[in-house]
Amino acid sequence: MDLSTLIGIVSAFGLMIMAIMKGCSLMVFIDAPSLLIVGGGTLGATLVHFPFNEVFRAFSVAQKTFFIKEIPPTQLIEQLTNFAGKARKEGLLSLQSVIKDVDDPFLSKGLQMAADGHEPDALAQMLVREIDYIRERHESGADIFASLGAYAPALGMVGTLIGLVQMLQSMDDPSTIGPAMAIALLTTFYGAVAANILFLPMSGKLRTRSHSEILKKELIVEGMNSILAGENPRIMEQKLHTYLAPKDRQSVYKKGK
């Protein structure tokens, strides 16, 4: 569970609801037609923009903003350093025995290819191509939520125009002015809330997650290249440390390994 996402959404909605309830009942801000205009219109516009399967996949990817199992880069470097030492002592085929203990599928694939005798250039090319495809999928998901964040306020304005038209057409009946005005104002409110508390922040979080994941996969590719080249594990570790901030660089050899 990603606490920052959960705390951010709960605090944003919680403080907003508290402020509303200080002045009136929360039910005043609940209007079904306004929700239909913003929710249905935003989803419809997004389906026009993107293919259905991409939109469906984006909503499944959205769970990464809440649930993700992070493997620290330092742990990856330690694993790769150990694998490099094992490969130098026992040969690349010995890596077959450690694959079952690796949690990262991308690293497992690299180790399997190395154990199977792939050439360094072929292995690097295949892994880099997979990184490119992963980056494209991540960008697509983030773009969809960014589009949702753009369409929601726009549909809120459409709802406002609908409400104003209804209000102006019934000025002779004062009892209809209130409901029409509610639609006019609440659709803008719903669009702004959906865009700025949910869709745009989720798009940003997905991009952040993508950058972190891509960095770790590039680190793995660099490590696998060093293993196949038979580099000294200490030299390989120093090379991989360039992917980390200076404060995070901790040598496994200083731990007595």
Q: Binning pLDDT at 50, 70 and 90, where does residue 58 land?
A: confident
Number of domains in the chain: 2
Q: Give the phi and the psi of residue 39 in degrees, each rounded to 5.
A: -65, -55
Q: pTM for the full model?
A: 0.82
Same domain, 26 and 105: no
User: What are the tens digits of pLDDT across the range 96-134?
Assistant: 888 888 888 899 999 999 888 888 888 889 999 999 998
Q: Indicate whether 92 and 160 sit together in one domain.
A: yes
Q: 222 with 241, same domain?
A: yes
Closest Cα partner for 79 from 109, 112, 101, 105? Answer: 101
80 and 168, same domain (yes or no): yes
Question: For residue 238, what are the domain limits?
Answer: 31-255
Residue 102 and residue 2 share a domain:
no
Q: Is residue 127 within 8 Å of residue 106, measured between CB atoms?
A: yes
In sequence order, which residues have a C-beta less than 8 Å from that of residue 117 and are 6 or more positions away?
92
Same domain, 20 and 62: no
Q: How confident is the model at residue 255 (pLDDT cuts 50, 70, 90)?
A: low
Specify whether 82 is located in the same domain as 10: no
203 and 236 in one domain?
yes
Do residues 20 and 65 both lie within one domain?
Answer: no
Same domain, yes or no: 137 and 12: no
- Asked if the model's pLDDT at residue 256 lies above 60, the reply is no
- Percent of the chain residues past pLDDT 90, beyond the cut: 36
Q: Do both 2 and 47 map to the same domain?
A: no
With CA atoms as reference, report the closest residue to 156 among 197, 186, 177, 196.
186
| Pair 46, 94 in one domain | yes
Query: For 165-182, how does the pLDDT look when each residue is reduced to its tens digit (9 = 90+)?
Result: 878 877 777 777 777 777
Per-residue burial over 23-43, b if 16 or more Cβ lie within 10 Å, else e, is eeeeeebebebbeebbeebbe
